[in-house]
Structure 1
């Protein structure tokens, strides 16, 4: 499918969905719509991802099948300044795909335009109607189940999940990511966004996801939030208990000492975070933190190498930066 990615004034750091699609998606990205970077190319900003021109508005986008909102703002609200581009996409008969909490299909103007011009409004965060509470049966899955967890939001859990999947596949394993957020759903075409599910059903939703793929060797459950996050610890717990994993991979960003956006809250020492996750998993599984992934994007190569070594020592487990250097053999060994 040919797509454009809307990232106005958020590319690349605050455009997690767009970057995820550029790095791991099967879509042909024909343009990124971003006022701030218009006139440049994706390759000018990001390495190792699909390249595309950056344009100022939907009017500058070549023929595409869909516009995907690639921004993942805190709270998932729709920004009114995006309305002209969404309107233009619908008037061209394009689908519009959104991972926001504000459902575009519930917007009267967008719904009318979609009906008039034949496009579809796809709200990736809209949960199914038949979810239930967990039954505690995820532990019976034949595959090895690994859940990525973090010291904070946006530390790389989704990215690490896909990197682990690809590394496992290179080793000959039948591996799949279990998507629990809008970006993972956009990349894979299945899954659900757990942060939109009624709290009572959240663990049950993850349990259902883990039990969906058939005959896999390895399932990597995409984590969300952090157990030490003052706002999002609930969804973290639901994913951890609903997935009943066999192992955990702890994701962290080098140099981050406070919760992003909640800077009055410090991230506990790394050994304490490991202990928290080990003890939180204990009621439902024997999973422990067996490996770590460190986001070193702000460091040069020498500093990154030192940071990864220090991180591995701090969590007492093998670690790597899978984006910078690939998944280290000892990390994949620990996971599988």
Structure 2
């Protein structure tokens, strides 16, 4: 499974290729209390475990990856070469509370890798300390220069986009699992990363939510260029069309991706948009209808080919029941790619896109 698209190699603020990031990593969990905000750490643990040495959390954190808890100097002694910020904050800001630990990591010999909107190099005290110690501050969430305005031109090849009822519920995992599963079947398929975690895993991509709004759809076109008729790009989705904060990113990615098919990702236990209790999670049916209506602008033939459920908080019986019930209700293949339940049927539908 290839991971690099022409023109889509992500660069740090200093121009370094993401696939040359300093590693192995000590995963920094900050003071996170909800697992949904630590999706970067979990993504690296699950999809690049060979690059993860341990985790570091601040007092009060209630999230763990299950990796050994290590302090920066101990992690360095065990082979870690970078502290990777594995959590997100609303707005992508680096809290002042984190700065002493980030400084300690630099002094312990670790570079720092970040996918936050706040750029490490713009934090004066941190940048000065890194320069003095000869350490690197690597910002992954930096889009490439020269992104064009979208043309809307129909491109050759096939495209699949993962979409969601909310943020942080499995769009990246689903896209990775589909791409890996189809590649194992011998199909010509690429995973296209659109967020910082996907880029850290794949080594290339474009951080869509860091692109100026006028160029969002153009970035999505750049990420998934013309391809052979049998080729399939599996594009990592972002946000949700029903998210009051991030729907604009989702819409730009949808228009520029021009997906032939999409897979809806959903957490059956989530009642409200993450962090926004006044906004209920929409139904899968509403997401399908809205995605088709908006997606027809650039691909009139767009359709839903399946559903991915995040059942990690359920036992095996409950998960099997909700997967089967959802499939009966919608008349579509439904799977939990992490459990593997229903995955082959979902892959069949994706392959036929």
TM-score relative to the length of structure 2:
0.85
SS of aligned partner of 2:116: coil
Q: Answer yes or no: is 1:30 the counterpart of 2:46.
A: no
Cα distance, 1:119 vs structure 2: 2.0
8 Å contact kept, 1:157–1:222: yes
- Measured in 1, the distance between the counterparts of 2:50 and 2:220 equals 26
Is the deviation greater in 57-66 or in 250-259?
Answer: 57-66
Q: Answer yes or no: is 1:251 the counterpart of 2:273.
A: no
Cα distance, 1:176 vs structure 2: 2.1
Cα distance, 1:275 vs structure 2: 1.0
1:228-284 CA-partner distances (Å, limit 9, x unpaired): 111111000011111111110000001223222222222333322211111111111
Cα 1:75–1:214, aligned 2, differ >3 Å: closer, same or farther?
farther
Cα distance, 1:13 vs structure 2: 4.2
Aligned to 2:312: 297
- Measured in 2, the distance between the counterparts of 1:259 and 1:222 equals 19
- Measured in 2, the distance between the counterparts of 1:268 and 1:312 equals 17
Q: Answer yes or no: is 1:183 the counterpart of 2:206.
A: no
Cα 1:41–1:7, aligned 2, differ >3 Å: closer, same or farther?
closer
Aligned to 1:2: 24
TM-score relative to the length of structure 1:
0.89
Cα 1:270–1:28, aligned 2, differ >3 Å: closer, same or farther?
closer
- Measured in 2, the distance between the counterparts of 1:214 and 1:110 equals 46
Cα 1:89–1:215, aligned 2, differ >3 Å: closer, same or farther?
farther
Pick aligned residue for 2:275 from 254, 261, 276: 261
- Measured in 2, the distance between the counterparts of 1:197 and 1:316 equals 37
Cα 1:96–1:116, aligned 2, differ >3 Å: closer, same or farther?
same
8 Å contact kept, 2:99–2:126: no
Aligned to 2:117: 101
Pick aligned residue for 1:222 from 219, 232, 236: 236
Cα 1:290–1:215, aligned 2, differ >3 Å: closer, same or farther?
closer
Cα distance, 1:173 vs structure 2: 1.9
- Measured in 1, the distance between the counterparts of 2:179 and 2:147 equals 27
Q: How many residues align?
A: 324
Aligned to 1:199: 213
Q: Answer yes or no: is 1:333 the counterpart of 2:351.
A: no
Q: Answer yes or no: is 1:151 the counterpart of 2:165.
A: yes
Q: Which runs of 5+ in 2 are unaligned?
A: 1-22
8 Å contact kept, 1:37–1:54: no
Q: CA RMSD in A?
A: 2.3
Q: Answer yes or no: is 1:210 the counterpart of 2:232.
A: no
Aligned to 1:49: none
- Measured in 1, the distance between the counterparts of 2:298 and 2:68 equals 47
- Measured in 2, the distance between the counterparts of 1:215 and 1:331 equals 21
- Measured in 2, the distance between the counterparts of 1:232 and 1:41 equals 26
